[in-house]
Amino acid sequence: MSTPARSAHGKAFDRRLFARVFAYTRPYRSLFWISLALTILLAGLGVMRPLIMGRMIDDHAMTGDARGLLLTTLIVIALLVVEAVVQFQQAYKTSELGQAVTFDLRDRLFRHTIRSAQRWFDRTPVGTLVTRTVSDIETIEDIFSQGLLMILGDLLKLTVVVVVMFAWNWQLALLCMLPIPLLLWATNIFKNSIRKSFQDVRTQVARLNAFVQERVQGMAIVQLFGREKEEYRRFQEINRAHRAAHIRSVLAYSIFFPVVEILSAVSLAFLVWWGVKDVLDGGTTVGDLFIFIFFINMLYRPIRQLADRFNVLQMGMVGSERVFNLLDTEAAIADTGSRGTDDLRGDIRFEDVHFAYVDDEPVLNGVSFHVRPGETVALVGPTGSGKSSIINLLNRSYEHQGGQILLDGQPLGSYRLAELRRSIAVVLQDVFLFSGTVHDNITLNDPAIGREAVEAAAKEVGAHECIMRLPQGYDTPVGERGGLLSTGQRQLLAFIRAAVHQPKVLVLDEATSSVDSASEQLIQQATERLTEGRTSIVIAHRLSTVQKADRILVIVKGRIAEEGTHQELLDLNGRYRELYELQFRHTN
């Protein structure tokens, strides 16, 4: 997996990484400049108010000028209103910019995810992908709404305040600045401490998401094998680590903020001690003293916020690094083909194909066979022999390492990937259904497929009456992963889904291995109707379901051990006959 040249884990601020994030603001440059202008304006407005109020005390309050006092008060109120409006606009625009960037980034990340090869999903936990797509990208939004522009605003405000303080009264300014070196030292310690804590928090969040995602999906296995206590114990361990990471960050905040308040109070004490004496001596005015009390608050508050916002920025850097690590992963199947599939006949040829999911652990060892257009070929063999791998290569879920696979005499890679997969319908043993209705799961939310086409496909496979017996027919909700339907009903929906897309090639992978006898009969009838006149590859554990196939290939240890019709293979007295007799004895 490729990574950015520099890691955000080792640096407070990674320029190259930030440049990649900032590049997503290009379509929204006007919004960025508006936000920046509002930030600058806000810094200037904040300094004007104490100056006006100081003059109000010296020029009007101390002299008894009631009219001037009222007029200045109204100016201060108007200034407060303007400042509030500008602050609202600045917060709104920066958040809008952050949301626009994260929308585009999340959109690109999900597009990258759905185009990735199955091999990538095999080694990437689902919970981790969810964390990257949701939580980590949210931290990138904070870079703009609470990080970068806010930091620029605070720095600008600090600069303006310090310059005005020294220009107004350099002696009082120096007094106020005496605790600043200690504050900067404390801020640096806090920054380093909180950065490590935030990194730990993100790591523990990803672990927690991945664990919960897997256990919820596999809850039936957990309960069937009585593993509730053990899984709960493991969850507690991860949850404790997650809590500890958060507590470490809270501890840093709980120490740093009181330190800032103490140093602010010390600065104020210095000001009062020297300022009151100076007022009595006539060296300064009450208004100046009042101005500097305001300035102390304006000086320490941004410094305290800077440390917090700096760490928000750091969190965004950590999140963006993880997101870009996923985006930089070359996980997609190459889609460089230019051929269409409109005239596809369904002639399939494997020539000396070699394949392995893991290097040095071959699954297919020189597999060669030919499926003619309209022919039904069955693949049988023991578990792990490589039957499903052949299907995975046919629709390019994985890429083979040796040999070649031809479709109508042309390499698979020469076809456009989306058209190739639309032309090959696969009915798996474990049918995945999305939350929604029966109709939605058949059409996969394709608006081009109407209700009439769905009903016609259901009648073609003999499942229309079965669906009409459901509470709301085709509009019946199926629940999460189809949990409200039986296994047989889910299988029938998979057959209708295949039929409604009118595939050129049909693949059935153990489609009847986990259903009852009544459902198996319906599915067997659906199989016969769908495979008629269509190139079909059928993987079956029950040999009784493939006896009518044109040819049967016996796969053993990644090789084709035998080939022929059902009767021909029985007459060979080889591996097929052993499998058949073993199942026959088991059935009897």
pLDDT at 517 over 70: no
- Please name each of the domains of the chain with its CATH number: 15-327 (1.20.1560.10), 348-587 (3.40.50.300)
Q: Which of 53-57, 368-372, 373-377 has the lowest mean pLDDT?
A: 53-57
445-482 as b/e, with b when 16 or more CB fall inside 10 Å?
eeeebeeebbbebbebbbbbebbeebeeebebbbeeeb
Angle between helix axes 15-22 and 286-327 (nearest 10 degrees) is 80
pLDDT at 292 over 60: yes
Q: What integer is the mean pLDDT of 349-363?
A: 86
pLDDT at 135 over 80: no
Strand partners, 380: 554
DSSP 324-387: HHHHTS--BPP----B--TT----EEEEEEEE-SBTTB-SEEEEEEEE-TT-EEEEE-STTSSH
Strands, sheet with 535-539, edge to edge from the N-terminal-most edge strand? 424-427, 505-509, 535-539, 376-380, 551-556, 559-564
pLDDT digits (tens, 9 = 90+) for 488-509: 788 888 888 888 888 888 888 8
Q: What integer is the mean pLDDT of 412-428?
A: 85
- Residue matched to tokens 């017996």: 469
State the pLDDT at residue 85. 92
Q: What integer is the mean pLDDT of 126-154?
A: 77
State the pLDDT at residue 283. 64
State the pLDDT at residue 3. 37
Reported as a pLDDT band with limits 50, 70 and 90, residue 519 is low
Q: Count the neighbouring beta carbons within 10 Å of the beta carbon of residue 107.
A: 10
Q: What integer is the mean pLDDT of 419-429?
A: 83
| The pair of three-digit structure tokens given for residue 196, joined into one six-digit string | 């490590």
Reported as a pLDDT band with limits 50, 70 and 90, residue 584 is low
pLDDT at 6 over 50: no
State the pLDDT at residue 487. 77
Task: Report the length, in residues, of the chain.
Answer: 588
Q: Count the neighbouring beta carbons within 10 Å of the beta carbon of residue 403.
A: 16
Contact in structure between 340 and 166 (CB atoms under 8 Å) = no
Contact in structure between 387 and 555 (CB atoms under 8 Å) = yes
Reported as a pLDDT band with limits 50, 70 and 90, residue 331 is low
Mean pLDDT of the chain: 80
Reported as a pLDDT band with limits 50, 70 and 90, residue 269 is confident
pLDDT at 588 over 50: no
pLDDT digits (tens, 9 = 90+) for 186-240: 777 777 777 677 777 777 887 887 788 778 777 877 877 778 888 888 888 889 8
State the pLDDT at residue 5. 36
Q: How far does the chain reach from its first CA to its final CA, in angstroms?
A: 54
Strand partners, 559: 556
Closest CA to 498 of 583, 570, 422: 422
State the pLDDT at residue 10. 42
Residue 167 CB burial class (10 angstroms; 0-12, 13-18, ≥19) = exposed
Q: Residues of the chain with pLDDT > 90: what percent?
A: 1
Strand partners, 353: 367
pLDDT digits (tens, 9 = 90+) for 67-102: 877 888 888 888 889 888 988 998 888 888 888 888
DSSP 559-581: EEEEEE-HHHHHHHTSHHHHHHH
